[in-house]
Amino acid sequence: MLLAVLSGFILCALAPWLTRSFGERAGWLLALLPAALFVYFLTWVPAIADGESVIITYPWIPGLDVNLSFLVDGLSLLFALLISGIGTFIIIYAGGYLHGHEYLPRFYAIMFAFMASMLGLVVSDNIITLFVFWELTSITSYMLIGFNHEDKNARWYALQGLIVTVAGGLALLAGLVMLAVAAGGEYTLSGILAAEDMHAAPFFTGMLLAILFGTFTKSAQVPFHFWLPNAMAAPTPVSAFLHSATMVKAGVYLMARLNPAMAESDLWFYMLGIFGALTMLTGSVMALRSTGVKAILAYTTIMALGTLTMLIGIGTEGAIIAAMTFLLAHALYKAALFMLAGALDHETGTKDVTKMGGLRHVMPITFIAACVAALSLAGLPPLFGFIAKELMFEATLGARGGMAVFTATLAVLSAIMIVAMAAVFALRPFTGARKETPKTPHEAPPSMLAGPVVLAGLSLIFGLAGFIPAMAIVQPAVAAVFGAELSVELYLWHGINAPLMMSILAVILGLVLFWKWDTVLDGFKRLTFIDRFGAERGYERFMDAIVWVAEWQTRILQNGYMSNYLLVIVLTIVGLTGWTLLGHTDTPMPLALADVNLYEAVVAALVVAGAVFASVTRSRLGAVATLGIVGFGIALIYVLFSAPDLGTTQIMVETLTVILLVLVLFRLPEFINYSSAGTRVRDAAVALSLGGLMTLLILAVNDATVAEPISDTLVAWSEPEGHGRNIVNVILVDFRALDTLGEIFVIGLAAIGVYAMIRFRAEDKAQ
Amino acid sequence: METLMAFVVGALFAASIYMMLRRSLVKLVIGLILLSNSANLLIFTVSGLERGLPPLIAPGETLPAGGWADPLPQALILTAIVIGFGVLAFAVVLIHRAYQVVKEDDLDKMRSTDT
């Protein structure tokens, strides 16, 4: 299993080299890996279909109990099969689509990294591992969307997708950690799903919203849906892969995965039900007003994601069966349709369906495959999509809490529009009179037809023989999502019932809509408010606001005035430390002045007087001289209070300082008062507040000892261990010798700096 | 004695911050010197002041006779004094150099990097 997950990353490193070596046939060769993975996952099917769920654990850091664990059950197997199976065709397809492209080796490398991340995501048992793979899919898809990096739009849309999904990822991380805490410190999915009393956690609502923010952004739910159609800037193989089996379904996967633990929550039910249904409708409406082949498909993907979210939210047995069936059906037809869209674009040179026509004679295989896949999209018998749609209608009618009318109405409305768009996609480019296109079309190469034909064929086979997918994969997947064993049977014919009536209604109205589509399009063109007030405009506003705030705070906080920086720092210290001090001091501080000797008081007074005089004098010499008084006064204090070493050091340093100041300062201008009286008063107040704070701080901590000091040990070791009788010296050169080495280094560096600056001055003069 | 020292340290901090808030380069340097002195004195004070008990061991003994002042803060301050001097020397020369290049002592007129 570990090898299965990591093999994609290994091939990612090898792919560029293989592509260069094998040239033309590289796509077919590289597709062997996903094909092998597909076969590997197929071998799991019998065991999983029997209701097993397997956890494979690799010790990672055994001492810390950190393991790499993988979970294989119906749900992860369904996803793994889709990823590896569709991935195989995508890799072959890319060989034809990007034939001769300069960056093809790079494309394969990112594609394999993406595929491996996605596989890792769906089989991870540890939620932190899951999160790492989740973010990896965001990053690799960023590189894939921006693959045509010379195109400004591609770069912009890639960044947009990245920002939206990674913002969600951040929330997801918080949500997952809360989830683990709520489950009693359990970081494995299997453990979380087995945990009890999770709903009792006080932060349950926050956790749920954080997780949903992550899944909604990833799976392009309203109002975060705008990034997905923009991701069409990617080459078509990427769009086909991202929008059928993978990336965008990661959010759906996680919601399905957590469903057993969350389904009891009403918030979960309403959030998923309402947002899912709205997303479904939004996707359908947006598809209806699109004319680009890829845009139509992208919006129908949003419809599908909304449907899946809604079904998981409804959460009844029938809804979960519908969700898993719909997931499989959608992956099959959507991957096929995208690859066909790419073939159309590739052969005709245009993406606009209104500019194509009469292609059925030149591209017959493409036409047939498009018809089959589009029938599945529209949900017509005998395709697998029909079964999925019937189940979906039935599930919306069974929603609890008064939601049934809402979900069922929206489902029918969206189905009408999807039927129309399926017809547009399958018929517009191929029937009618031939239209002139930028390129002269002919049938696409085999590498570009293999995927659509096989996947469209599967849609047909699964529709006619529903028991194959039902037993093999849908039933175990439903069991995993529903959290209980049950049996699933999929048939085309359910008898004459409400869902069938809804389907018939949708098809009839959908065909009417198709017939009048040109009129509808004109109508939409006049409704420009969608572009002005849409969610994407909100995103742009938000990004502008971030830039505005950044500029504003730079102007305020980092305006280049030295005094401004200092004021911010000092006031922050006074505010925060003062606040803490107030909260921790309840007894009045003792003011013990009785033990002060007269000579000590004189020294202290000298130091204070020197500091004050140095601050107010207008004479440079006076300032330097009083600074000397302060320094020597402090040296006296050191000597008086048992620190002779400090005293001698301070005297030497003070002497050097005075000499240095006299040498340098007198080359600088006289003291001038630049600032106004008001500024000086403000500065004095700020300075006094810090001084006052320091005084209070010393008074407050004077008698506080929080831990046993290590000094006594150092004193005891000094003579026997350090062989020195001056304990301060022993500490400096022995116990803390590394510190002293660092100190020597700093002094050396300062000396070099000083030397260099003086040197350059000499050179300047020489010029 | 710590009470008195608390006020001394407070006054030193206030004087240093006031000087650093001035717009003159020279006053900034004076503020820096005061600041490093006040920080040292702060550490020295909060570690407890003892009269006549230097952490020195007489020959033939293994411990200072009659108790000792805490040697660890002293070692830290000693390091700080020396480093403070290194920083000061560097700052003074840097400021001198800056003045030579830009012919300006007013910090508020030295806001951009290309003067």
pLDDT at B114 over 90: no
Instruction: List A726's β-bridge partners, or say none.
Output: B56
The span from the CA of B32 to the CA of B10, in Å, is 15
**For position A748, what pLDDT does the model report?**
93
Q: Taking CB atoms and an 8 Å limit, are A646 and B34 in contact across chains?
A: no
Average pLDDT value for residue range A10-21: 83
CB neighbour list of residue A54: distance below 8 Å, 6 or more residues apart: A44, A47, A48, A71, A72, A73
Phi, psi at A316, each rounded to 5°? -75, 170
- When pLDDT is cut at 50, 70 and 90, the band that residue A765 belongs to is low
Residue A682, judged by CB atoms within 10 A of its CB (0-12, 13-18, 19+), counts as: middle
Residue labelled with tokens 């000298």: A606
Q: Is B11 on the interface with A (CB under 8 A)?
A: yes
Q: Is residue A154 part of a domain?
A: yes
The span from the CA of A638 to the CA of A39, in Å, is 81
Taking each helix axis from N to C terminus, what angle separates A498-515 and A404-427, rounded to the nearest 10 degrees? Answer: 40
Phi-psi region of B60 (alpha: psi -120 to 50; beta: other; left: phi over 0): left
Average pLDDT value for residue range A145-150: 88
Number of independent structural domains in chain A: 1
Q: pLDDT tens digit string along A373-408?
A: 999 999 888 889 899 998 999 899 888 877 888 889
* Token pair in block for residue A180: 């683990």
* Token pair in block for residue B34: 């005061």
* Token pair in block for residue A208: 């749920």
How many contacts (CB atoms, under 8 Å) link A and B? 278
Q: Is A659 on the interface with B (CB under 8 A)?
A: no
With beta carbons less than 8 A apart as the criterion, state whether A394 and A499 touch. yes
Distinct helix (H) and strand (E) counts, chain A: 34, 2
Q: Is B106 on the interface with A (CB under 8 A)?
A: yes
Highest mean pLDDT among A195-199, A509-513, A704-708: A509-513
Highest mean pLDDT among A611-625, A656-670, B100-114: A611-625
Q: Taking CB atoms and an 8 Å limit, are A646 and B74 in contact across chains?
A: yes
The span from the CA of A248 to the CA of B11, in Å, is 63
Highest mean pLDDT among A43-47, A480-484, A560-564, A607-611: A607-611
Q: Is residue A59 part of a domain?
A: yes
Q: Is residue A606 part of a domain?
A: no
Residue labelled with tokens 């091939």: A11
Q: Is residue A71 part of a domain?
A: yes
CB neighbour list of residue A551: distance below 8 Å, 6 or more residues apart: none
Q: What is the dihedral of CA A37, A38, A44, A45, to 10 degrees?
A: 170
Average pLDDT, chain A: 87
The span from the CA of A25 to the CA of A445, in Å, is 13
Closest C-alpha among A483, A376, A491 to residue A75: A483
pLDDT at B8 over 90: yes
Give the nearest partner residue to A614 out of B15, B44, B87, using CB atoms.
Answer: B15
Q: Is A566 on the interface with B (CB under 8 A)?
A: yes
Q: pLDDT tens digit string along A466-516?
A: 888 888 888 888 888 888 878 888 877 777 888 888 888 889 998 988 888
**For position A537, what pLDDT does the model report?**
83
The span from the CA of A640 to the CA of A634, in Å, is 10
DSSP track, A225-292: TTHHHHGGGS-HHHHHHHHHTSTTHHHHHHHHHHHHHHTT-HHHHHHHHHHHHHHHHHHHHHHHT--B
**For position B115, what pLDDT does the model report?**
43
Average pLDDT value for residue range A144-159: 89
With beta carbons less than 8 A apart as the criterion, state whether A668 and B3 touch. no
Which of A11-15, A245-249, A454-458 is least confident? A245-249
Average pLDDT value for residue range A223-246: 83
Domain that holds residue A360: 2-527
Q: CB A567: neighbour CB atoms within 10 A?
A: 16
* Token pair in block for residue A523: 């109508």
Q: Is residue A433 part of a domain?
A: yes
- When pLDDT is cut at 50, 70 and 90, the band that residue B111 belongs to is low
Q: Taking CB atoms and an 8 Å limit, are B88 and A736 in contact across chains?
A: no
Residue A662, judged by CB atoms within 10 A of its CB (0-12, 13-18, 19+), counts as: middle
Residues of B with Cβ-Cβ distance to A604 under 8 angstroms? 4-5, 8
**For position B17, what pLDDT does the model report?**
94
Q: Is residue A181 part of a domain?
A: yes
Q: Is residue A594 part of a domain?
A: no
Q: pLDDT tens digit string along A595-641?
A: 888 888 999 999 999 999 988 888 888 888 999 999 999 999 999 99
Q: Is A417 on the interface with B (CB under 8 A)?
A: no
Which of A355-369, A435-449, A730-744 is least confident? A435-449
**For position A588, what pLDDT does the model report?**
63
Going from the C-alpha of A221 to that of each of A207, A302, A442, the distances in angstroms are 18, 7, 38
Distinct helix (H) and strand (E) counts, chain B: 3, 0
A193 versus B40: the higher-pLDDT residue is B40
**For position A556, what pLDDT does the model report?**
81
Give the nearest partner residue to B82 out of A649, A661, A702, using CB atoms.
Answer: A649
B window 38-97, beta carbon within 8 A of A? 38, 40-42, 44-46, 49-59, 61-64, 68-72, 74-75, 77-79, 81-90, 92-97
Going from the C-alpha of A7 to that of each of A15, A26, A45, A61, the distances in angstroms are 12, 17, 21, 22
A window 68-97, beta carbon within 8 A of B? none
Q: Is residue A443 part of a domain?
A: yes
Average pLDDT value for residue range A535-542: 84
**For position A172, what pLDDT does the model report?**
95
| DSSP 8-state class, residue B23 | S
HEC string of A368-428 equals HHHHHHHHHHHCCCCCHHHHHHHHHHHHHHCCCCCCHHHHHHHHHHHHHHHHHHHHHHHHC
Closest C-alpha among A87, A96, A90 to residue A25: A96
Residue labelled with tokens 């008063």: A681
In order of their start, the domains of chain B are: 2-49+69-109 (1.10.287.3510)
Q: Taking CB atoms and an 8 Å limit, are A607 and B8 in contact across chains?
A: yes
Going from the C-alpha of A168 to that of each of A130, A215, A411, A738, B41, the distances in angstroms are 14, 7, 27, 46, 50
Tell me what ipTM this predicted complex has: 0.94
Q: Is B102 on the interface with A (CB under 8 A)?
A: no
pLDDT at A68 over 90: no
